[in-house]
Amino acid sequence: MAMPSVEQLAKEQYAKLFGVADWPLFKETAEALLREAAHIKTTDMQFWPTQKLLARNSRKRLLIGIGIELLLKSVYLKNGYCINKRQEDRTTRGFPFTQEHAATIAMDDADSYSLEPLVANITGILKFQDQETALKGLKIAKVFRNKEGHVVTGAHQFDSTNYRDIEASLVILYERAFQERLLVHFSLEPDEPAEWHVSPLAKA
């Protein structure tokens, strides 16, 4: 019998088949990351003085990408869907699986789906009145997650509207998925106020 690889042994530390009961922890962790992304300043960065802005922006984008991945996983779990991958076929075939469907097939407790299929399939989980706006920011966050997690560049073509699009998507997602009102603003300029506040939606 082959000995497990170093990677397999490390993955086993996190192995779990996630279920409905796990969604609040995913949401709380996502919110901690997104709140930090909203408020993080160049003075928070332990980096070369001339590169603090570059480092701050990179970290802000990475926090947004990871935070939104965990937030979407929370949404899937809350609605009774499995985020673990199939054991035999590790593609996205058949995704998303309900918890009931997942109980009939072998699931991988050491691996979960990435942000790409989570974004691509969210409209099968939630119905949005303004689908274009809801998805636009999520797609941008997916690029942030992929690029900032894999490469480093000495310069970046900055587009502040990316952050406004992500804010708009998050507001819609919170209202639709959690029945909550989100006030969010990712601070970009030195004196620009940041905001992250979640409250229950007022009942009609």
For residue 49, is pLDDT > 90? no
Higher-confidence position of 88 and 82: 82
Average pLDDT over residues 159-176: 97
Position 156 confidence tier, pLDDT thresholds 50, 70, 90 = confident
Q: Which residues pair with 184 in a beta bridge?
A: 196
Position 90 confidence tier, pLDDT thresholds 50, 70, 90 = low
The closest of 161, 162, 86, 149 to 117, measured between CA atoms, is 86
Higher-confidence position of 1 and 28: 28
As a whole number of angstroms, the distance between CA 80 and CA 101 comes to: 10
Q: What is the pLDDT of residue 158?
A: 80
Highest-confidence segment of 98-112, 155-169, 176-190: 176-190
Average pLDDT over residues 166-191: 97
Lowest-pLDDT range, 62-66, 69-73, 87-91?
87-91
Residue 4: CA count within 13 A, CB half-sphere: 9
Residue 40: CA count within 13 A, CB half-sphere: 22
Highest-confidence segment of 10-19, 33-42, 94-103: 33-42
